[in-house]
Amino acid sequence: MTTDGRSILKVLSRSVRLSCPACGQSRIIDRPFRIKHHCPNCCSLFKREEGFFVGAILANVMMTELVILITCLIWLMLIGSSYETVLAGLFIVALLFPVAFYHHSWSFWLGFDYLIESLPKYEERNHTTRQ
């Protein structure tokens, strides 16, 4: 399972570990809720033009909906809790899961982009330092 020499399983593994999808040597996270601009090892660009990461938001929303659905089914069918208890629990899951999955949604989106068209390289002369 490769795409132009890029192994899908290798990229998926790197995405799960929040590593650079191109080289796997550097983490994509600068600090909590901050994604690095580029990989210091291979210079792959993580921060792209405005609107590029709408797909990461979509991935986060879709995974949240899937987790809510699975949680609801487990609670109602296997545990047999009351409907009010299930709604309260699902509300908590709906608030916490997207926050917990934030970095992974970015990572999976970067990995997907890397598999489809590779990541552009960072060119220092075109970039000013952002703090």
Q: Each residue of 29-50: pLDDT tens digit? A: 989 999 998 999 998 988 888 8
The DSSP secondary structure of the chain, one letter per residue, reads: -EETTEEHHHHHHHHHTTB-TTTSSSBSEEETTEE-SB-TTT-BB-S-STTTTHHHHHHHHHHHHHHHHHHHHIIIIII---HHHHHHHHHHHHHHHHHHTHHHHHHHHHHHHHHHH-PPBP-GGG-----
Q: Each residue of 105-125: pLDDT tens digit? A: 999 999 999 998 888 888 876
> How much is the mean pLDDT over the chain?
87
The token duo for 31 is: 């600090």
pLDDT cut 70: percent of the chain above it? 91
Q: How confident is the model at residue 131 (pLDDT cuts 50, 70, 90)?
A: very low
Q: Each residue of 48-99: pLDDT tens digit? A: 888 888 999 999 999 999 999 999 988 888 777 788 888 999 999 999 999 9
- What's the confidence (pLDDT) of residue 78? 79
- What's the confidence (pLDDT) of residue 84? 86
